[in-house]
Amino acid sequence: MTGEQNDDRCPEEELAVGYAMHALEPGEEALVRAHVLGCGRCQESVRATQEVTAALGGSVRQYDPPERLRTRLMDAIEHTPQVQVDEPVPLGSRRRDRPGGWGRKLLLAAAALVVVAGIGVAGVRFGQLNERVAEQDVRAGQMERALRIAADPDATRAVLQDESGDAVAVLLSADDAAAIVPTDLPSNDVTRQIYVVWGTGTPEPVALATFDVTASDADVRLLAWSPDAHGHKGFGISLEEGRTAPARPSSVLASGQVGPA
Q: Are residues 94 and 181 in the same domain?
A: no
pLDDT of residue 122: 47
CA atoms within 13 A of residue 39's CA, in its CB half-sphere: 24
Beta-carbon contacts of residue 174 (< 8 Å; ≥ 6 apart): 149, 152, 154, 155, 156, 225, 230
133 domain residue, yes or no: no
Say which CATH number the domain at 176 has.
2.60.40
In a shared domain, residues 177 and 250: yes
pLDDT, one tens digit for every residue, the chain (261 residues) = 444 444 467 888 878 888 887 778 777 888 888 888 989 888 888 887 777 666 555 545 555 555 665 566 566 555 555 555 455 555 555 544 444 454 455 455 555 444 444 445 445 555 555 666 666 667 677 777 777 877 778 888 899 999 999 999 999 998 888 999 898 899 999 999 999 999 998 899 999 999 999 876 657 888 989 889 989 999 999 999 999 999 999 999 999 998 755
pLDDT for 119 equals 47
Residues in a beta bridge with 260:
156
pLDDT of residue 102: 44
Whether this prediction's pTM lies above 0.85 is answered by: no
Structural domain including 93 reads: 13-117
The predicted pLDDT at position 18 comes to 80
Q: Is residue 122 part of a domain?
A: no
Q: Residue 57 falls within a domain, yes or no?
A: yes
Residue 149 lies in a domain: no
Residues 176, 104 within the same domain: no
CA distance from start to end of the chain: 75
Residues 160 and 232 in one domain: yes
pLDDT of 197: 97
Confirm whether 60 is domain-assigned.
Answer: yes
